[in-house]
Chain A
Amino acid sequence: MAEVIVITSGKGGVGKTTTSAAIGTGLAMRGYKTVVIDFDVGLRNLDLIMGCERRVVYDFVNVIRNEANLNQSLIRDKRVEDLFILPASQTRDKDTLDIEGVERVINQLAESFDYIVCDSPAGIERGAFMAMYFADQAVVVTNPEVSSVRDSDRILGLLASKTRRAEEGREPVKEHLLLTRYEPARVEKGEMLSVDDVKEILAIPLLGVIPESKDVLQASNAGSPIILASESDAGQAYEDAVSRLLGEDLVHRFVEVEKKGFFNKFRLFRS
């Protein structure tokens, strides 16, 4: 039985798509057959970040409308085995998704995949609702600032009331907090909320802290998920997050300001 994971946030531009690509890739690298679905109909970002935009023929909306079948629309990743992408349409608007259609596609994917990762659009409207409705788990992507935390709180309220699990009174959606674009130096100066501040307000388990890193933009420009950049701290932080998602208990890294000592004059690579 497949596990459906929604990557959501409320606020826009906090790193949902970056996270969807990283976590989807990470799960596939560990041997789980994984598909990442782009629910951001009209914008289409995921295929760019995952470097397959040139290979999109049919999309999620085509499948929902029975204009194409799943096999025609799924794009197999060229780098990682067991990784597939179901791209969004750039030419339609969000209202073309309907809940029965989404359910049909997810059920069909569930027959052959271990993980279905849903990249949610921003906002708390229809698109975000569609992306979360069938979720078993939710990764709530939050930046360390007040408005993002507020929106995440709002999303957590919807996860607890507007998902199928909630409506059917089943065990609630398993919630994970992923704090991204974290800058310990700015936290120390009081310019950003700290990990503890955010944890205290949202009161859900912390899946990981992803540091702010120039490597992220570079990776997305190159169409290569950041988790594949194993020398990058952001890539390593995503690796850790995937491990925790799979149940491992790891210490959180990249949450303190690096001390400038002798050893920090070198960079250690892990390749």
Chain B
Amino acid sequence: MMSVSEQDAAAAIKARMVSLTVLELFSTDLEELDRQLLEKVAQAPKFFRNAPVMIDFGQLDQEVDGSWLEKACELLSANNFVPVGITGAEESLEFAARARNIAVWPAAGTARHDTVVESPQPEIKEEPVQSPPAPQEAVTPQEAPHTETLVIRQPVRSGQKVYARGGDLIVLASVSTGAEIMADGHIHVYGTLRGRALAGARGKESARVFCNDLQADLVSIAGVYIINDDLPSDMRKTAVQIYLQEDQLKIESLR
């Protein structure tokens, strides 16, 4: 499959998962923030040098304004961080962020804290649970029981997002490239998986991804991910399961 228009393109726009440093704020005291940042940087100067930072206001119960954000960004820059975005902030602050040309992410809670998920068009399509019993073989008795299993019967199309919060996700159809499916537990795709699949979205490392035909843009388990380019060629277009073993993704044939 090839497209003439793609060959001629001067650039390609792609969605990609990136790892960000998150600065969770608990206080608006800028002096204290400066002091603690210095301390942190002193511990691992190389690690933090020019690290992109997202400021998370989600835990903060005080309100701050645009000029506060301005100062906080200057302070971060002075400590060799690169402020790239904010999340969990009031709407007024979002304006200030846009004026400063930094990104605004939707509030956290959908992903692990060091993982930011981008979606071109956040369109959350959540269905009520239709078949509650969790798949038996996947659940070991020691594990806490899964609260919910989300079953999707139609194809998940480009631009759509499905998130099984707190449980497993079963998709009985295909997942298109440009679509994103997430679950806090396991993900099962009985059609072709062409989009992005993120299992263990809140860090559950025992989560797995099962699919009938692997052509995914990206597969992630508890934040460890693999992109399409890196999928082993003998596993492409076959039925596989993907799981984490010693912080490495393992792809195993189901045949």
Contacts and interface: CB of A to CB of B under 8 A. Distances in A.
A197 interface: yes
Contact of B157 (A153, A191, A193): A153
B155 A203 contact: yes
A237 B160 CA distance: 33
B4 A153 contact: no
A161 interface: yes
B73 to A, nearest CB: 33
A216 to B, nearest CB: 20
Nearest to A151: B158
A145 B159 contact: no
Contact of A197 (B1, B155, B194): B1
A154 B178 contact: yes
Contacts, number: 55
Interface string A144-186: 0111001101101110110000000000100000000000000
A201 B176 contact: yes
Of the four ranges (under 10, 10 to 19, 20 to 34, 35 or more), the interface on chain A belongs to 20 to 34
Contacts of B155: 156, 203
Nearest to A190: B2
B160 to A, nearest CB: 5
A183 B173 CA distance: 30
A161 B155 CA distance: 12
A153 B158 contact: yes
Interface in A179-208: 190-191, 193, 197, 200-201, 203
B174 A203 contact: yes
Contact of B2 (A150, A160, A191, A200): A191
A157 B157 contact: yes
A116 B155 CA distance: 27
A193 B174 CA distance: 19
Contacts of B123: 157, 161
B5 interface: yes
Interface in B33-76: none
B5 A146 contact: yes
B4 A150 contact: no
B6 A146 contact: yes
Interface residues of B, number: 24
B158 A157 contact: yes
B211 to A, nearest CB: 15
Given A161-B123, A161-B125, A154 B157 contact: yes
B228 interface: no
Contact of A160 (B6, B154, B178, B192): B154
Contacts of A145: 3-5
B177 interface: yes
A193 B158 CA distance: 18
A154 B158 contact: yes
Contacts of B154: 160, 172
B160 A150 contact: no
Contacts of B5: 145-147
A154 B125 CA distance: 14
A147 B12 CA distance: 12
A190 B174 CA distance: 25
B97 to A, nearest CB: 25
Interface string B177-211: 11100000000000110100000000000000000
A203 B178 contact: no
A28 B149 CA distance: 48
B173 A150 contact: no
A193 B154 CA distance: 24
28 contacts: A145-B4, A146-B1, A146-B2, A146-B3, A146-B5, A146-B6, A147-B6, A150-B177, A150-B178, A153-B157, A153-B158, A153-B176, A153-B178, A154-B158, A154-B159, A154-B178, A156-B157, A157-B156, A157-B179, A160-B154, A160-B157, A161-B123, A161-B125, A190-B2, A191-B2, A193-B3, A197-B1, A201-B194
- Lowest 8 CB-CB distances: which A-B pairs, in order? A157-B157, A146-B3, A153-B158, A154-B158, A157-B160, A154-B159, A153-B176, A153-B157
Given A124-B159, A156-B155, 17 more contacts: A145-B3, A146-B2, A146-B5, A147-B5, A150-B158, A153-B176, A153-B177, A156-B157, A157-B156, A157-B160, A158-B159, A160-B154, A161-B123, A191-B2, A197-B1, A200-B192, A203-B173
